[in-house]
Structure 1
């Protein structure tokens, strides 16, 4: 049904401004999906074009309501403008994560000027974009997790070390040496720990994968004393389903004539299929080392450039604060959570740890060089 303006009840200036903003946002979102579609192929491209087509229908709704007022240009909201900029220059999972948040914050549900269908569209769009972003998040979840944790550990631990040592009143040279030692020790420890963790996880998954021994052993088994049934029962199948599958494996069925009794759990995937979610041991280890080192370098930058005393400590805290805000915001974006809230949480944790060690350094302060 095409919306129309009531001649007896003209829209208020506030309504016109809101409609023009909605129109600008819809145009920006359509441009985002069209831009992303240009960088994709296959089914994903078609899905993005479908989203763009839906946004175009929403555009037309506001154009019909605005009438001649639709010609007056209005800038989209800052979030949509930023989203469009990222889509044009990056086109990565970050853009999909931002688009997911934009779709999830649609005002159409509470606005009677928008149709119920449009409000429902926006809710469904959020789920569509969430699904598109899932693959990218999965690819990042291995090495990216190690990188983010490594950077944050480096920032927080070395800032705490620098603050604690600096509060004791020792010379700036000793603070710098302590910071460099903390950087190297922490980076090596993180790299070794991440390597062992991922390698152990891979070995555990590999040991849990079903083998194909049933295929080679099945033709020689006795149906009346069939241990193959025990294999499938151990994997969680019912007695009836296990007997069905065992008979199939032994060649008594030409095909799996009862798919409902098939047992295809997620963990029957080959171990290599878990590559995306776990990452490689070497990649995770290298990421941990590099990002811990880069994070741990920031607190000691003022000392590397010759600063001393309180000024060096204050600048170190400020630099680490900026870095914590950035890493927290990135994690928030990728997880679909509010980036500002995650950024402030990271900042509070990092500064809190540094404050504790600073107080301890003051309590146990000494002038020993």
Structure 2
């Protein structure tokens, strides 16, 4: 049902606090509508129409605050930093990252607790979050397979090579040996990760392909015995109830016609789910390549100080600092795409990574002291 635009609100002089708040809301609504229109410019078909529909809804909210402000709306306010960044990203990139950020922005709407916002507007924001979540999920499906390999590869490269470098460096060996160990760890880890990802993804795809229903029932049905056949068992094995299995078997036997398309799978839902799983897993070669490249890019960071000639404790501290920043970034990206807090995910990655490296550093100190 099409929602009507809000009726003009009789103007009464608002307080200065209300004016500032309403101007901010108005600026944010204008910015959000612009974000959805920018995203729609990079989409087509159904996704474009959905985004334009969201932009229209933000226009209604914009009119609400404009009416409340009355003559005070003439002076504009700046939108929040989040909306400003979102609009820039939507204009120049238009990726799933923007949708993930927009999802968080919709979920953080203050309208539910603001008496100046209508209940309809608060409900709209809740629905908008789910709409954007659905659009973001489509994008996550498209990149999740190889993206998973890339994130895991980069994180493993950062943590494992930092742990190796800190453990070796703590024993007191020469910087050249630490550097060699770091390069050896980089190459060995990248090759191992790539091989493991290729085998893992390839095996998953083969398992999914083996589980996909075939069309054998279409070719075998005409020759089956009407009184005794196992066609019902096929559909029961695929998860149908007795009644549904009997109904589908009768259709395949030609006892009566159906309005379905016999060229389609007997379980379109299962096939659709299988296709999504294939898409989410990604390709074996793509996952292996992403894992190799990102592991190597992560693993080279801990040895950068040694490459540029630094030695001893300063090199170790700088390596740990560089890796800490990288862990915060990778954790933040994962949090962003999952719709969670980037800060919390980044700090979690940092804690896990530096904790693992700290263990090997202590072991290096112990063994270095015992050797000495």
TM-score range normalised by the length of the shorter chain:
over 0.9
CA distance in 1, matches of 2:165, 2:88: 39
Q: CA deviation at 1:6?
A: 6.0
Q: How many residues get paired?
A: 363
Once the two structures are superposed, the pairs formed by residues 1-369 of structure 1 within 5 Å of their partners are: 1-2=6-7, 4=9, 7=12, 10-256=13-259, 264=267, 266-269=269-272, 274-366=277-369
CA contact (8 A) 1:202 1:271 kept: no
- Aligned counterparts of 1:197 and 1:152: Cα–Cα separation in 2: 18
Superposition deviation, residue 229 in structure 1: 1.6
User: Residues 62 and 272 from structure 1, CA distance in 2 versus in 1: closer, same or farther, beyond 3 angstroms?
Assistant: closer
- Distance (Å, rounded) in 1 between the aligned partners of 2:229 and 2:333: 55
Alignment check: 8 A CA contact 1:248 1:256 kept = no
Residue-by-residue CA offset, 1:283-339 (whole Å, 9 max, x unaligned): 101111110011000000111111111111111111111111111111111110011
Length-normalised TM-score, structure 2? 0.93
* Whole-angstrom CA distance in 2 between matches of 1:71 and 1:77: 19
> Contact (CA 8 Å) 2:11, 2:70: kept in 1 or not?
no
Cα distance in 2 between the residues matched to 1:287 and 1:314: 29
2:25–2:65 Cα contact (<8 Å) kept: yes
Superposed CA RMSD: 1.8
Where in structure 1 do 4 or more consecutive aligned residues deviate above 4 Å?
Answer: 269-273, 366-369
Q: 1:141 is paired with a residue of what secondary structure?
A: helix
Kindly state the Cα deviation for residue 264 of structure 1 after the two structures are TM-superposed: 2.3
Q: CA–CA distance in 1 between the matches of 2:154 and 2:225?
A: 59
Matches of 1:276 and 1:120, distance apart in 2: 33
Instruction: Report the Cα offset of residue 348 of structure 1.
Output: 0.9
Query: Deviation at 1:5?
Result: 5.5
Q: Which runs of 5+ in 1 are unaligned?
A: none
CA distance in 2 between counterparts of 1:296 and 1:355 reads 17
d(CA) in 1 for partners of 2:190, 2:94: 32
**What is the CA–CA distance in structure 1 between the aligned matches of 2:361 and 2:277, rounded to whole Å?**
43
> CA shift at 1:225, angstroms?
0.7
1:40-81: CA deviation from partner (whole Å, max 9, x where unpaired) = 111211111111111111111111111111111211111111
Q: CA deviation at 1:272?
A: 5.5
Q: Distance in 2 between matches of 1:212 and 1:250?
A: 14
Equivalents in 1 of 2:238, 2:8: separation in Å? 58
